[in-house]
């Protein structure tokens, strides 16, 4: 037995030393990689864009992410900024002849896809080619691929063409079974974030706004594809209504793709386009490697004249929070940093958020206003900038959104769950209390609230709604009564928001940067763009990968098909105080 324990101890010590030494070995390799020369690019190369992965605003650098993927189960994300930077660089790079686009089913919202698609179109306009290949296309994937010169789809590949749908989850049935009673306080007919707790289906008001939102996004989607593929939007709608595109050949006969074939055939066509012999390999360069090539090139623009792009992505929470959240404490620090930096002449607040804490949103709004008093601040809306996401945009001088951005949802609510019956009847746990005052334990989840207490919360919600709409009206330069006609929690597409005055300009982050620079009297080529928060040290990101970070990718990997419900539960646990948020998640596919 003693020998057995000795061997076990020796094994454990050996494993520990292996992990420690391995870490420092990788750190040393990483340091060498970081200090090494730029990647050498071969002539007649093709930029390979693999977008079948999450597309985020900014992705922290981790040189070992791909190598660690088999062990961590993580799917590495790609940064929209990196994609756009690479395409701009490649358009004028004589060694890059074209792009190989792999984007069968990208994991992103519609507004971010719009930015990528526009960047692909601009690259194509330079006279270079875009070739796309996929084993199957979702509608989001095809939206990107439709701009390509050549579109390959395998013979048995799926081609999704049945229209867009938005699906909501409802939890009332679950709460009823568990004997958990929700107490909801809200203002606004369209504030449907609370409906999952009160109903088993959508209200007519919620259905109306969802239908109009979908219609707006779908009309834009069809219009762009119609131009790229030389077909009318009406025909595209008919094909979706009739489900007439059942296989790759159907998409081919209608001109939506150019070839039905396998990857080897696609590669042969690519070689012919490049003038490469069939026996030779195509020189592909990946996104990250390509951005490293020629990295010694001097950056243009005056170092002392900067446009700061401050990223605000995720749910809005109070305090310092964690990764993938808009933490009021962290974002306020970033805004203060760029406000007090004399080298920063203008600011773009890039928002991708469904909202969250009303208090945190208001604190951030104040910091935005303080920054706008000192230098131009332009809001750039991503996939979604609704409720609290719209709140923090209100203090900006100009609001820019994509046509398919989800925005608005101007309204707030409060939610309390009474778990007393559940604890008593399901778990056998009961509660009792002594108090110095009648409401000393209020608010509480372990007893029924009195009508007086409910009125207090409802009044706080109504007061918050007045504050929200008053500040929105001031930012939009309209009367509060007119603003309220657009509020009540109603969600709008970017196109509709531009039409009704909630948004000023349609466009992406580059448009917002141009507006910010012009507002600061900066000429093109005379300034530099800096993104905040600045990237973390890659060693810290490596540790996050090894220890498991609290992010969306990790949650999806662990929960699998139950990930949407796990995310909803996590969002529920973060609801502290009055909320300014849209429905948990609108999935438009």
Active site residues: 191, 387
Considering only CA atoms, which of 140, 134, 169 is closest in space to residue 152? 134
CA distance 304 to 278: 51
Alpha-carbon distance 438 to 441, whole Å?
8
Q: Tokens representing 218?
A: 């779908």
Distance CA 146, CA 359 (A): 43
Of 423, 424, 385, the closest CA to residue 401 belongs to 385
Alpha carbons 527 and 457: distance in angstroms, whole number: 49
Per-residue tokens: 374:
């000192």
Distance (Å, rounded) from C-alpha 30 to C-alpha 584?
40
> How far apart are alpha carbons 242 and 257 in whole angstroms?
19
CB 368 within 8 A of CB 392: yes
In this structure, the number of other CB atoms found within 10 A of the CB of residue 313 comes to: 18
Q: Reply yes or no: is the peptide bond before residue 581 cis, omega within 30 of 0.
A: no
**Which H/E stretch holds residue 131?**
strand 129-134
Which helix (H) or strand (E) covers residue 11, if one does? helix 2-35
Q: Which residues contact 284 (CB under 8 A, 6 or more apart)?
A: 45, 46, 47, 48, 100
Nearest residue to 213 (alpha-carbon basis) of 192, 187, 227, 234: 192
Whether the CB-CB separation of 361 and 322 falls below 8 Å is answered with no
Nearest Cα neighbor of 328 from 314, 318, 338 is 318
Burial of 492 by CB count in 10 Å (0-12 exposed, 13-18 middle, 19+ buried)? Answer: buried
Give the separation between CA 545 and CA 57, rounded to whole angstroms: 19
Residue 379, SS3? strand
Phi, psi of 203 (to 5 degrees): -75, 165
61 burial type by CB count under 10 A (0-12 exposed, 13-18 middle, 19+ buried): middle
Q: Write the CB contacts of 380 (distance below 8 Å, at least 6 apart in sequence).
A: 309, 348, 349, 350, 351, 400, 401, 508, 509, 511, 512, 513
């Amino acid at each position: 037995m003693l020998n057995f324990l000795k061997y076990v101890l020796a094994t454990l010590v050996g494993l520990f030393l292996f992990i420690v030494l391995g870490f420092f070995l990788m750190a040393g390799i990483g340091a060498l990689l970081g200090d090494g020369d730029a990647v050498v690019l071969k002539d007649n190369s093709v930029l390979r864009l693999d977008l079948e992965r999450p597309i985020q605003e900014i992705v922290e650098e981790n040189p070992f992410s791909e190598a660690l993927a088999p062990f961590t189960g993580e799917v590495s994300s790609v940064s929209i900024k990196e994609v756009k930077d690479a395409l701009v660089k490649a358009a004028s790079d004589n060694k890059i002849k074209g792009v190989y686009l792999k984007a069968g089913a990208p994991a992103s919202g519609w507004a971010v896809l719009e930015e990528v698609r526009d960047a692909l179109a601009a690259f194509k306009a330079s006279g270079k080619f875009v070739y796309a290949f996929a084993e199957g296309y979702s509608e989001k994937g095809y939206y990107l691929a439709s701009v390509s010169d050549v579109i390959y789809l395998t013979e048995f590949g799926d081609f999704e063409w049945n229209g867009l749908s938005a699906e909501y989850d409802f939890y009332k049935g679950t709460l009823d079974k568990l004997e958990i009673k929700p107490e909801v306080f809200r203002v606004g007919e369209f504030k449907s974030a609370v409906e999952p707790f009160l109903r088993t289906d959508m209200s007519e008001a919620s259905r109306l706004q969802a239908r109009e939102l979908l219609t707006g996004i779908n009309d834009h989607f069809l219009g762009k594809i119609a131009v790229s593929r030389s077909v009318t939007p009406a025909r595209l709608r008919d094909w979706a209504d009739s489900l007439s595109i059942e296989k790759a050949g159907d998409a081919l006969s209608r001109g939506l793709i150019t070839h039905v074939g396998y990857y080897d055939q696609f590669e042969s066509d690519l070689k012919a386009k490049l003038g490469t012999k069939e026996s030779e390999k195509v020189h592909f360069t990946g996104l990250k490697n390509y951005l490293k090539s020629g990295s010694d090139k001097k950056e243009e623009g005056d170092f002392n004249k900067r446009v700061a792009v401050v990223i605000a992505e995720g749910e809005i929470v109070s305090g310092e929070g964690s990764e993938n959240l808009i933490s009021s404490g962290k974002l306020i620090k970033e805004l203060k940093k760029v406000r007090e930096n004399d080298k920063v002449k203008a600011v773009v607040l890039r928002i991708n958020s469904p909202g969250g804490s009303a208090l945190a949103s208001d604190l951030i709004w104040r910091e935005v206003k303080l920054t706008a008093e000192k230098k131009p601040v332009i809001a750039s809306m991503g996939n979604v900038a609704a409720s609290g996401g719209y709140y923090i945009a209100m203090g900006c001088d100009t609001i820019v959104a994509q046509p398919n951005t989800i925005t608005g949802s101007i309204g707030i609510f409060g939610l309390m769950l009474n778990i007393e019956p559940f604890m008593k009847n399901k778990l056998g746990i009961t509660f009792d209390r002594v108090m110095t005052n009648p409401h000393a334990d209020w608010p509480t989840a372990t007893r029924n609230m009195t009508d007086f207490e409910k009125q207090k919360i409802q009044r706080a919600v109504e007061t918050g709604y007045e504050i929200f709409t008053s500040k929105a009206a001031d930012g939009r330069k309209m009367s509060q009564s007119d603003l309220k006609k657009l509020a009540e929690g109603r969600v709008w597409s970017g196109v509709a928001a531009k039409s009704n005055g909630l948004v000023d300009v349609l466009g992406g982050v580059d448009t917002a940067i141009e507006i910010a620079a012009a507002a600061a009297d900066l000429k093109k080529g005379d300034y530099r763009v800096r993104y905040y928060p600045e990237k973390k040290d890659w060693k810290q990101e490596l540790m996050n990968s090894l220890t498991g970070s609290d992010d969306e990718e990790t949650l999806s990997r662990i929960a699998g098909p139950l990930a949407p419900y796990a995310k909803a539960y996590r969002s529920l646990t973060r609801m502290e105080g009055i909320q300014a948020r849209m429905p948990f998640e609108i999935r438009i596919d």
